[in-house]
Structure 1
Amino acid sequence: MSQFLDKNESVFQKKISCLQYISQGKDRFQHLENIEKVLRAGGNWIQLRMKEMPQNEVLKTAILARELCSKFSAKLIINDHVKVAKTCNADGVHLGQEDTSVLEAREILGTQKIIGGTANTFQHCLNHLENGVDYIGLGPLRFTSTKKKLSPILGFSGYMDLMVAYSKHENTVPVIAIGGIQLSDIEELRQIGLSGIAVSGMLTHSEHPEKEIRQILDGFAVRG
């Protein structure tokens, strides 16, 4: 059973995973430890997020994370640091609203790399579509301590309204739910129209992440 979606294959056969792990850790070693833990448990999409680390430390970590992801045939996405992504030959970048622009990132990375963008409003989604992102990370669903500058919480009703509007625009760009996601949310998010979820603490703090990973993959495999 594939954990990758085929919704966006028309552009250079890019595949966007329905489960994206956002790394956590106080330092390089914790990030790498948590990344390897998720990879060994069956994760196949890693976003390296080291917001408050100096760029040289992010690069050192990214190079090692690239080796780990290659070993497990997983994709490595770098949060924000476009030049780091290019240097370590990551599979792409994820950009927040205050990060490097999508157009600038595309100029640096080229057309075959994956670029994802964070959104909190329908206008954010439209902007991302216009600028050519490969996926949209929409949220937060609820409060999360992972992100310090948290955008307004959407809740399920917010997701519903946004996805109804989004569905009226013909496109193949998948939308991934982010921010405080729990296992019990999967079915409702899937029915609303979300293509997957991005999680952090759920897997970082799990003693048996393979169980959560399998439940997530199975949950989004049933689409119709």
Structure 2
Amino acid sequence: MALSELSRHIENIIFDLDGTLWDPMPMSIKAWHTALNGFDCIKNPISEEDIQGILGMQHDLVGKKLFPYLSKEQQDEVMNSCYVQEVNDIKEYGGVLYHGLEETLKLLGSKYDLYIVSNCQAGYIEAFYAYHGLGGYFKDFECSGNTGLSKTENVKMVIERNTLSKPIYIGDTLGDYTAAEGNQIPFIFAQYGFGDVPKAKYTINKIEALKDLL
């Protein structure tokens, strides 16, 4: 089924953030290196592949994956420092928006209510809004950093909190697909992002392709 046909069956759009609306990698790498330089307990430098590998992961699980040799308390301290640095760097430098993002959001917003659900830390989405001036396009958002819940549960929360009818979820990872499946809503795979979703029924190769939903 083409996106143009899918448009007949939806009324609201929920987006993932990283790998779907923007590329945070340059910002994240810089922020993590800055934060981790302050810890003598870190054995190996964090690479781009390391950070890319945790994009989309529930934020409170990241420390265990990246720093299994640290205690839970040390993991929490290190990760909190990285997360704070990321939010500060977003506020100061922003990230790389995908080409045509704002124009696409403006067009979609003329027909649908738009939302964000991400597995990021608290303050991350607000910083994204503040630097890039995009907050006005979205009606609500939620993240695991605020709730401590999975993406499936946070998508459900946004749906229930806003009494959404016929929503879809757009994301770039298998976790995003799982969140949509868990809420029994359609999923669109942003294949230009960081993940792979072989079972995705709907796929876009650029954010601007969502104009076909109009």
Establish whether TM, by shorter chain, passes 0.5.
no
By relative contact order (CA 8 Å, sep 6+), the higher-ranking structure is 2
Question: TM-score normalised to the size of structure 2?
Answer: 0.36
- Computing the radius of gyration from Cα coordinates, the structure with the larger value is 2
Greater share of residues in helix: 2
Question: TM-score normalised to the size of structure 1?
Answer: 0.34
